[in-house]
Structure 1
Amino acid sequence: MKPSPVVARRTFLSATLGAVALGLTACANAETPDVTLAADTPLLDSVPKGTKLVIGDKEHQKAIEFSGEAKNFTFEVEWANISGGPQTLEAFRAKALDVGSVADIPPIHSHWTGIPTRIVASKFRQDPLNHAIYRLGIAPGVAVAALADLRGKKVAYSPGQAQGALVLRVLHKAGLSKEDVKLVELPSTGDVYATALASRQVEVAPIGGVQIKRYETKYGKDGAKTIAHGLRDDPGHLYVPITVLADPAKAAAIREYVQVWARAWRWREANPQEWIERYYVKDQGLTADDGQWLVDNGGVADIPASWGEAIARHQETIDLLAKETGNKPLRAEDLYDRRYESVAAKALDAGGAK
C-alpha cells in the first residue's frame, strides 16, 4: 500500500548529530525558551490547512504506512531519519524536528539541557517484567549471577539515555553507588555495547532488542550471558518542544498524530507476520527468526487513558537521577501535556487499523 501523497518521506540530519548532543548537559539553562504553556488551553477542533509536522519515529512510521493509517492525515508529514534521545534533542535544538519518539530519560534530559519539552503520548508493556526491553549483558568469563555481583565491575554507561538511567536504577536496587563500580561512558547505539562486552572493554552493559538474542547466540559458547534486572524499563513516549506546542495549528496536528500512532500499534499486534516480513525482514534486513524473537519478546502495548501511575514512576526516576547527577530536581507532572492524556486511548476505543 502506498502512503498518502501528503506524507513526504525525506531523510535528513546526519546520524552524527547524536554525538553532539551527548555533551549538552553542562550548557543550556540560559537558552531555555521564554514560552509558557497554559495547561487548559483547548486544542483546535481541526487542523488548519497548510500545517506540517516533522516527525522522528523511524520504526513506527512503517507501521503507520503499512496499516493504511497514513491516509488519515489531514496535514503534511515529513519523516525524519532520527531516533534516540541525543539525535532527537539536537534536532529540537536546531528547530528541525517537531515530534520525537523516545523512552523516559530524554524528556528529563531535555529540561536539564535547556530545551523544555512535553510528553503527548505514552505506551508501556502489559507484562513489563517478563517482556523487559533490556537485560544486563555479562562479558565472557565474568562472574555476575545477581545484581550484588556488580560491585567492582566495569559497567557501560550512557548519560542522558534510557540505558544510562537503567544502570543507575540497577545500582540503587542492588544497594550500590556509582563509586562501587567503574562506569565506562559509551554510546549505546547499534551493537556498541555488545561489542564492548565481547572484547571485555566493559564487563556489564544493558543490551536490548535483538542484540540480546545475537549476543547470547554468538558469545554464549565463550561464557557470555545475560541476566534479568527485575525493573520496569518499558516506557515509550512521544515528546514535543514547548515552542511547538505553543503553535495552535501544530498542537492540533499532534493530537491527530497521536490518534494514528495508537491505532498503528494495535495494527502491529494484530498483524505480526506481515510486520515481521515487511519491516524486520525487508526493511531492516533481519532474519525471519530475529523478527519472530522481537515480536515474541515485545509484549502487548498498554496505552493508558490516565497517566497518573506513569507520572508517579517518572518522578521516582527523576529524583534518583537528580541525586546521582547533581541536576536540579524536576516535577514529573511538568513533563506531560495532559491535554493529550486520553487521546490515544480514545482513538483505540473508537477503532481503527486492524
Structure 2
Amino acid sequence: MITIPRKALLAVLATVLATGAACGSEEAATRLELSAALPDKVPTGTTLRIGDPQIQAILGASGLDKELSDAGVTTEWANISGGPQSIQAFRADKLDCSSVADIPSLFAAWTGTSTKIVFQAVTQDPLDHPIYKLGVAPGVNVASPADLRGKRIAYSAGQAQGALVLRVLQKAGLSQKDVQLIELTSTGDSYVTALGTKAVDVAPIGAQNIKLYEAKYPGATSINTGIRDDASTLYCLTTAVEDADKAAALKAYVAIRTRALLWANDHPDEFAKAYYQDSQKLNEADAKAVVEINGDKGIPASWDNAIKRLQETADLLSTEQKHDKLDVTTLVDRRFEKVQADAAGDKVVTGDAS
C-alpha cells in the first residue's frame, strides 16, 4: 500500500477545489438571463442538438446549411419531432430543441420539464389547409362533428391530436362523456391502422395521409374539423436558451430557419423532393400533393395571437384533463419574435387572425 503524506494530500485537495471553483465561475459566466439581450457572436465550436427534420432537408436543398456553418453554428441533427419523443430526449439531456406543434410545451411544463418556444410559424389560409382531418373507419357514419356522439375516438392526451379532439368535441357541444376516448399514441401510421382495422371509429390523422388512408381501406372517409390547427413551433430546453453560447447559436438558427421556410414556399417542387421524396420516401406525385395540401407557411410579425390560442388550449386541457392552471406566457421566449420577423423582412405576416 502506498501512503500519501497528509500535507501532500491536502495540497492536492486544495488544487482540485480551486479547479472546481474556477470551472464553476466559468460556467456561471456563460449563463444568460432570460431578460438579457441575445448575443450576436457565436463562439467557435458551439453545437446545437436539434430535432427539426423538415428544416434539415430544406437547409440542404437551399444551400442555407452553408450559411448556418458560416455563422459558426454546428448542428447535431436528431430524427425527432413531436411531443413524446422530444420530451423524452429533453429529460435525458440528448436534445436542445425540437420542432413541434404547441401542445408539447404545455405537457413539458405539466410534467416538470422546463422549455421555451423560440419560433412561431402559421399556415396561410389555415382553414383551407388543415394539418389534421378526422379519419372515419369504413362503414361508420360520421358526416360532421355532431355525429361523434357515441363513437370510439383515438386519443393521445400529450399530443396535438388529443387537444384537437377535445376542441372538436367542445365546438360540437359534446363532452368526453358523450364519446369513448381510446388512449392510443399517434406514432407512424398507428392511427391509420387503428381506423382501417376498426379498432376505433374516428381518429385525427395528418391531412397528407387522408388520400393514402382512403385508397388503402375501401369505404374509409374523412371530414374537416373546422378548427384552426396550424400551430408550428420550435421549442428548446430552458437551459439551452440560458446558455449564452447556445442562445447566440439559436439566434442565428432562428433567422436562417425563417428564411428556409420562406424558401420552401417559393420552391415547392424542390421542397417536396428534398423532404417528402428523399427523406419520407413518397413518390413524386404524392410528395407534391402533400406540399400543396399543407399550404405555405407564414412568419407572424407578432406572437400575440399564437399565445392567445395557446392559452385557450391550456385552459381547456386544464379543465378536461385536470391539469394545473398554466400561464403560457412563461413558456415563450419573445426575444426571438423580432429575430424571425426581421429575417422575414417584407414577407412577414402582419394579420395573423385569431
Question: Fold-level match, TM-score > 0.5?
Answer: yes
Asked if 2 retains the 8 angstrom alpha-carbon contact of 1:263 and 1:348, the reply is yes
- Give the structure-2-normalised TM-score: 0.86
Q: How does 1:198-347 map to 2 (within 5 A)?
A: 198-219=196-217, 222-347=218-343
Give, in whole Å, the separation in 2 of the partners of 1:195 and 1:142: 15
Q: How far has the Cα of 1:179 moved from its partner?
A: 1.2
CA distance change for structure 1 residues 176 and 350 in 2, over 3 Å: closer, same or farther?
closer
Give, in whole Å, the separation in 1 of the partners of 2:34 and 2:303: 15
Q: How far has the Cα of 1:38 moved from its partner?
A: 4.5
Counterpart residue type for residue 196 of structure 2: A
Give, in whole Å, the separation in 2 of the partners of 1:159 and 1:89: 14
Give, in whole Å, the separation in 1 of the partners of 2:342 and 2:41: 17
Q: How far has the Cα of 1:327 moved from its partner?
A: 0.6
Asked if 1 retains the 8 angstrom alpha-carbon contact of 2:40 and 2:251, the reply is no
Give, in whole Å, the separation in 2 of the partners of 1:318 and 1:208: 22
Asked if 2 retains the 8 angstrom alpha-carbon contact of 1:155 and 1:202, the reply is yes
Q: How far has the Cα of 1:284 moved from its partner?
A: 2.0
CA distance change for structure 1 residues 76 and 37 in 2, over 3 Å: closer, same or farther?
closer
Q: How far has the Cα of 1:37 moved from its partner?
A: 7.7
Equivalent position SS for 1:342: helix
Going by fraction, where is helix more abundant, 1 or 2? 2
Q: How far has the Cα of 1:277 moved from its partner?
A: 2.6
- Provide Cα deviations, 1:218-253, integer angstroms capped at 9, x if missing partner: 22xx32100000001001000011111111111111
Equivalent residue, structure 2, for 1:150: 148
Q: Percent identity?
A: 52
Asked if 2 retains the 8 angstrom alpha-carbon contact of 1:37 and 1:242, the reply is no
Equivalent residue, structure 1, for 2:112: 114
Asked if 2 retains the 8 angstrom alpha-carbon contact of 1:158 and 1:188, the reply is yes
Give, in whole Å, the separation in 2 of the partners of 1:85 and 1:285: 23
Equivalent position SS for 1:324: helix
Give, in whole Å, the separation in 2 of the partners of 1:263 and 1:291: 21
Contiguous gaps of at least 5 residues in structure 2: 1-30, 348-354
- Provide Cα deviations, 1:100-121, integer angstroms capped at 9, x if missing partner: 1000100000000100111000
Q: How far has the Cα of 1:350 moved from its partner?
A: 8.0
Equivalent residue, structure 2, for 1:45: 40
Q: How does 1:31-42 map to 2 (within 5 A)?
A: 38-42=33-37
Asked if 1 retains the 8 angstrom alpha-carbon contact of 2:58 and 2:274, the reply is no
Contiguous gaps of at least 5 residues in structure 1: 1-35
Equivalent residue, structure 1, for 2:181: 183
Give, in whole Å, the separation in 1 of the partners of 2:115 and 2:278: 34
61, 64, 88: which is aligned to 1:90?
A: 88
163, 166, 181: which is aligned to 1:165?
A: 163
Q: Which has the larger radius of gyration?
A: 2
Asked if 2 retains the 8 angstrom alpha-carbon contact of 1:304 and 1:342, the reply is no
Equivalent residue, structure 1, for 2:352: none
Q: How far has the Cα of 1:39 moved from its partner?
A: 4.2
Equivalent position SS for 2:80: coil
Counterpart residue type for residue 162 of structure 1: A
Counterpart residue type for residue 325 of structure 2: P
- Provide Cα deviations, 1:50-88, integer angstroms capped at 9, x if missing partner: 211100101220101111111112121110121211110
Give, in whole Å, the separation in 2 of the partners of 1:260 and 1:286: 26
Give, in whole Å, the separation in 1 of the partners of 2:273 and 2:249: 31
Equivalent residue, structure 1, for 2:132: 134
Give, in whole Å, the separation in 2 of the partners of 1:165 and 1:37: 33
Give, in whole Å, the separation in 2 of the partners of 1:116 and 1:295: 33
Equivalent residue, structure 2, for 1:54: 49
Counterpart residue type for residue 52 of structure 2: D
Counterpart residue type for residue 271 of structure 2: W
Counterpart residue type for residue 106 of structure 1: P
Counterpart residue type for residue 231 of structure 2: P
Give, in whole Å, the separation in 1 of the partners of 2:223 and 2:81: 26
Q: How far has the Cα of 1:276 moved from its partner?
A: 2.1
RMSD: 1.5
